[in-house]
Amino acid sequence: MPKDSGIGASSKRREDVRFLTGKGKYTDDMNVEGQAHCYILRSDVAHGTLDSVDTSAAADMPGVRGILTGEDFVEVGGLPCGWQVTDRFGEPMQEPKHPVIAHGKVRHVGDPIAVVVADTLAEARDAAEAIDVSITELSAVVDMAAALADGATKVHDDLTNNLCYDWGFVEENKDAVDEAIKGAHHVTTLELVNNRLVANPMEPRVAIGDYDASTNDHTLYTTSQNPHVIRLLMGAFVLGIPEHKLRVVAPDVGGGFGSKIYHYAEEAIVTVASKQFGCPVKWTSSRSEAFMSDAQGRDHVTKIELAMDENGKFLALRTDTMANMGAYLSTFSTCVPTWLHGTLMAGNYTTPLIYCNVKAVFTNTVPVDAYRGAGRPEATFQLERVIDMAAREMGIDPIELRMRNFVQPDQFPYQTPVAVVYDTGNYQGTMAKLLEVVDRDGFAARKAASAANGKLRGFGVASYIEACGIAPSSLVGALGARAGLYESATVRVNATGSISVMTGSHSHGQGHETTFAQVVSDMLGIEENAVEIVHGDTAKIPFGMGTYGSRSLAVGGSAMVKATEKIIKKATKIAAHLMEAAEVDVEFKDGQFSVAGTDKSVAWGEVCLAAYVPHNYPLEEIEPGLEESAFYDPANFTYPAGAYACEVEVDPDTGKVEICSFAAADDFGNVINPMIVEGQVHGGLAQGLGQALLENTVYDENGQLLTGSFMDYAMPRADDLPSFEVDHSSLTPCTHNPLGVKGCGEAGAIGSPPALVNAVIDALADKGVVHIDMPLSPSRVWAAMNQAG
Amino acid sequence: MAQVSMTVNGKAVSGEVEGRTLLVQFLRDQLRLTGTHVGCDTGQCGACVVHVDGEAVKACNMFAGEADGAEVTTIEGMANADGSLGTIQQAFQDHHGLQCGFCTPGMVMSAAALLKDNPNPSEAEIREYLEGNICRCTGYHNIVKAIQAASDAQ
Ligand code: FES
Ligand code: FES
């Protein structure tokens, strides 16, 4: 029987009512009394020297309150990068300054040049047209290989070249990997591109700065996944505002997918502008601006080689990747192609020797950073593609080849050759579950039926593993992170027994207000509705690191559990006092404290009231009140894993791919709210399938962004996708967090691209097609079919 | 500046607008009906869908002046008279047809227009009808389910 509340129940989301009635409070819905609007004039060339910015005519335009340019930010810090990668030779990465507003040079289309603050947005925009900008255009560096060539134009004049770092992992394995590949029975080699994506949460970014001169307090309302991180980065590293003078509020946020993790220039701009011009200042991104100012995702070019023995046993793996950083280092850009990518190259397999080389490259394009999955989709895609190709070359069934190389269920905890230790998993289990869901035996008949209709049918699978619940602070610190990655929670029991949980996690679609309440209500045996979840405001919540990397429940939820355990401990003491019993004899169950073997009991509400009205209370032993905080720093990452299958039909006349079915069998560990988990998988699948089939960010050779709107960037729409089959019943609970949860936010986006591409290649195998780079658009598929063989 | 008057969610409203003021700006900025969202600047995303004289319209693709004299319904006008969720809204909650909620007002308004014209749409018809509404969160799976359930419930 499915439960109807608490852990494991598909509780309906409480946040839905406000969203369904138009009462959500997104940042753009807010208007601060007396606010002005700003418009940001952005570079329309990818690379050039900024010779002059003449704002004199614009300053006299109607409604204009003031104008900011790069000159106004020369004295403050650049936008910081949160992770210092050390290269193969032990040297730190090259790290250029990222000015808030371009100064001296513009380095990508969309680089801010000037900011006009005016009474209305229309006036600000009109005035921006009167700004006279003189730029001497320089040749743009767009292609990564060209950027690394000797004598290439430099994106940053003060750096040695366009190489941010040359990273090798595990460097000590390099020679052994080379040897193993040289002597192997068979080596499969694949060169591929992991296409650049734009996250495109449906809510564009917004920032409102509000400075109160009477108290010297700054408030920033912003569309962020992690308000405390923004407060720290902007306060400490850019503008020099101490934390207690800066409040950051991220109210309802309309999706993030990684792109709202980072500290962006606009946040600093509105904060400075509000103080300088004496009024609250609001900036709302248009979608066109989002395309050229939100950090983009992926963009790797990779060569992967897999060495096998005659039975298809994996012996060694070598990868060579160029990863595009764009023009500047966004907050977490540098760790994505390294520590979130190289450490996952073992996948679900026992490959003993792995070497992964990554060259991170500066180009005159929009900065690149984590996008749903971040590094792990890139690792999974190359691995699952090369395995499929290897299966074909070796004449082994692709599922059989995976099964032969899976980590066995009795090998956990499993130490991979790429540093991480998988705590639990059962890759055979999820594959078996997948095969229950999909009718593989019926495929031949379906293929014949498609053929009778003139269509080519294909079937593809992929396994994946990811590392979530980021992350043990000591570990990431040793790897170069400039932050700790714990999470925090405060559980406040109110006098009559209702609960307010203040969490450092942030919900921007994940439904924390519902799931987090389910956990606490279950632990305390009280109604879900008696628990409210507070998030998104640094003035209300403890210092926390926010939501990304599928970490909210595994890390933030664990902090909340720890704090709730402290509450239960203290409440038990109070109950023991009220019942005049020894603490050890007191049991707590279903919201009731009782003394074993007696009929003595007190209800939750009575204990809470006693804590706040301590007339009869052990004041010499404990303090009044019932409020506890906990910070939780995980002992390890969590390792969700699974197996996905895709079936497609290709129209040989047009190259159009239709997804006939898609099935996912995931191991997320324990599940709090199955309905929400399944929704997360659906959304991840849509983004992964979007990458595989439709989405691509294209720059021309001058660095002009050709896909700068929804007219040119193909977002997946309802009729591009099928309904999905998802299952999460084959599970192995995480062993090192109290809920046994692993995280489900990114899985769909990680596992689905290789499953789809494998299916299309299967459909086209008879035509001699061995690989097509994503997105598998009709023109690319058609060209591949007609060029191959 | 010109004067416009219209009925929004059953209430007579009027205001001063510039020729270039879009209906969505009038609704959001002047009437403070912020349930209607703006997700793009090319008429592609459907976050701004409202009903004008009974037809689904992208409010970013219409000047406020063009709606002079019209009957406009926004997401704020979709609940039942007692404030409870209407059938489509309830189906979205029951079937988890929303995550971040940003596309949701437009989705609900489009779904209402679809079900008015075609009370029993097939899955394929629903998916085709939603071509002009982008959701980045749900993968559409549960939106389709919600609309099917609303169609059954009506
Ligand atoms: S805002 Fe109207 S279609 Fe996007
Ligand atoms: S629910 Fe977030 S865009 Fe649809």
Please say whether the dihedral angle defined by the alpha carbons of residues A111, A115, A120 and A125, taken in this order, is positive or negative. negative
Q: Residues A2-22: what's their mean pLDDT?
A: 93
Q: CA–CA separation, A670 vs A691, rounded Å?
A: 29
Taken as a whole, chain A contains a residue count of: 789
B132 Cβ closer than 6 Å to some ligand 1 atom: no
pLDDT tens-digit series, residues A440-486: 999 999 999 999 999 999 999 999 999 998 888 888 888 888 888 88
Give, for all 154 residues of chain B, the pLDDT tens digit. Answer: 899 999 999 999 999 999 999 999 999 999 999 999 999 999 999 999 999 999 999 999 999 999 999 999 999 999 999 999 999 999 999 999 999 999 999 999 999 999 999 999 999 999 999 999 999 999 999 999 999 999 999 8
Tell me the percentage of chain A whose pLDDT exceeds 70: 99
Which one of the ligands is nearest to A686 CA?
Answer: 2
**What pLDDT is stored for residue A66 in this prediction?**
98
**What pLDDT is stored for residue A483 in this prediction?**
83
Looking at the whole model, is its pTM more than 0.95?
yes
Confidence bin at A680 (pLDDT 50/70/90): very high
Q: How many angstroms away from the CA of B65 is the closest CA of chain A? A: 17
Which one of the ligands is nearest to B41 CA?
Answer: 1
Q: What is the DSSP string of A248-278?
A: EE--B----TTTTSS--HHHHHHHHHHHHHT
Q: Hey, what are A620's tokens?
A: 């010499």
Specify the pairing of strand A531-534 against strand A499-503: parallel
Specify the pairing of strand A314-326 against strand A353-362: parallel
Task: State the fold for domain B87-153.
Answer: DNA polymerase; domain 1 (1.10.150)
- Nearest of A422, A668, A684, A473 to residue A553 by alpha carbon: A668
Burial class of residue A407, CB neighbours in 10 A (0-12, 13-18, 19+)? buried
Q: Hey, what are A97's tokens?
A: 């300054």
H/E run at residue A627? strand A627-632
What are the helix (H) ranges across A278-315? 287-293
Look at residue A544 and tell me whether its pLDDT is greater than 80: yes
Give the contacts of A715 (CB within 8 A, at least 6 positions apart).
Answer: A200, A690, A694, A695, B44, B134, B136
B100 Cβ closer than 6 Å to some ligand 2 atom: yes
Phi, psi of A388 (to 5 degrees): -65, -40
B114 Cβ closer than 6 Å to some ligand 2 atom: no
Q: How far is the CA of B99 from the centre of ligand 2 (A)?
A: 5
- Nearest of A165, A181, A180, A65 to residue A123 by alpha carbon: A65
Q: Which domains does chain A carry?
A: 421-468+637-789 (3.30.365.10), 486-632 (3.30.365.10)
Q: How many angstroms away from the CA of B153 is the closest CA of chain A? A: 18
Give the sheet arrangement for strand A300-308, strand by strand: A163-169, A353-362, A314-326, A300-308, A186-194
Q: CA–CA separation, A264 vs A283, rounded Å?
A: 12
- Nearest of A378, A467, A402 to residue A774 by alpha carbon: A378
Q: How many angstroms away from the CA of A203 is the closest CA of chain B? A: 6
**What pLDDT is stored for residue A476 in this prediction?**
86
Q: Which amino acid belongs to residue A502?
A: M
B58 Cβ closer than 6 Å to some ligand 1 atom: yes
The single residue listed with the structure tokens 């980590």 is: A407
Q: CA–CA separation, A260 vs A633, rounded Å?
A: 23
- Nearest CB neighbour to A718, from listed B39, B131, B137: B131
Look at residue A777 and tell me whether its pLDDT is greater than 70: yes
Phi, psi of A110 (to 5 degrees): 110, -10
Contact (CB<8Å) B137/A683: yes
Give the contacts of A783 (CB within 8 A, at least 6 positions apart).
Answer: A655
Q: CA–CA separation, A37 vs A81, rounded Å?
A: 28
Look at residue A59 and tell me whether its pLDDT is greater than 60: yes
B102 Cβ closer than 6 Å to some ligand 1 atom: no
**What pLDDT is stored for residue A2 in this prediction?**
65
Render the burial of B22-40: b for 16+ CB within 10 Å, e for the rest: bbbbbbbbbbebbbbbbbb
Look at residue A789 and tell me whether its pLDDT is greater than 60: no
Give the contacts of A439 (CB within 8 A, at least 6 positions apart).
Answer: none
ipTM rounded to 2 decimals: 0.98
Chain B residue at shortest CA distance from A11: B94
* Helix B141-153 vs helix A674-693: crossing angle, to nearest 10: 120
**What pLDDT is stored for residue A535 in this prediction?**
94
The single residue listed with the structure tokens 């912020």 is: B34
Specify the pairing of strand B55-58 against strand B49-52: antiparallel
Q: CA–CA separation, A210 vs A81, rounded Å?
A: 25
In eight-state DSSP terms, residue A203 is S
Q: CA–CA separation, A311 vs A333, rounded Å?
A: 39
CA atoms within 13 A on the CB side of A455: 18
Q: Residues A761-783: what's their mean pLDDT?
A: 97
Q: How far is the CA of B103 from the centre of ligand 1 (A)?
A: 10
Confidence bin at A788 (pLDDT 50/70/90): low
What CA dihedral angle connects B84, B87, B93 and B97, to 10 degrees?
-150
Q: What is the CATH number of domain B2-78?
A: 3.10.20.30
Number of C-beta neighbours around residue A592 at 10 A? 15
Q: Please provide the average confidence, as pLDDT, over all residues in chain A.
A: 96
Q: Map B78-138 to HEC letters.
A: CCCCCCCCCHHHHHHHHCCCCCCCCCHHHHHHHHHHHHHHCCCCCHHHHHHHHHHCCCCCC
**What pLDDT is stored for residue A475 in this prediction?**
85
pLDDT tens-digit series, residues A603-620: 999 999 999 999 999 999
What are the helix (H) ranges across A310-411? 376-394, 398-405
Q: CA–CA separation, A677 vs A742, rounded Å?
A: 11
- Nearest of A502, A508, A492, A495 to residue A539 by alpha carbon: A502
The verdict on whether omega for the bond into residue A201 sits within 30 degrees of 0, i.e. cis, is no
Q: What is the DSSP string of A408-434?
A: PGGG-SEE-TTS-EE----HHHHHHHH
Which residues of chain B does A508 touch, with a Cβ-Cβ cutoff of 8 Å?
Answer: 100
Domain segments of chain B as ranges = 2-78, 87-153
**What pLDDT is stored for residue A1 in this prediction?**
55
Burial class of residue B20, CB neighbours in 10 A (0-12, 13-18, 19+)? exposed
**Contact, A115 vs A101, CB < 8 A?**
yes
- Nearest CB neighbour to A202, from listed B127, B135, B145: B135
**What pLDDT is stored for residue A481 in this prediction?**
85
User: What are the C-alpha distances in Å from B25 to residues A163, A405, B36?
Assistant: 45, 58, 9
**Contact, B78 vs B88, CB < 8 A?**
yes
Phi, psi of A609 (to 5 degrees): -65, -40
Q: How many angstroms away from the CA of A6 is the closest CA of chain B? A: 17
- The protein residue whose alpha carbon is closest to atom 3 in ligand 2 is B135
Which residues of chain A does B39 touch, with a Cβ-Cβ cutoff of 8 Å?
Answer: 202-204, 287
Contact (CB<8Å) A201/B102: yes
Q: CA–CA separation, A360 vs B147, rounded Å?
A: 46
The single residue listed with the structure tokens 């366009």 is: A162
Q: CA–CA separation, A392 vs A389, rounded Å?
A: 5
Give the contacts of A486 (CB within 8 A, at least 6 positions apart).
Answer: A473, A545, A555, A559, A631, A632, A633, A634
Q: Which amino acid belongs to residue B140?
A: Y
Contact (CB<8Å) A684/B104: no
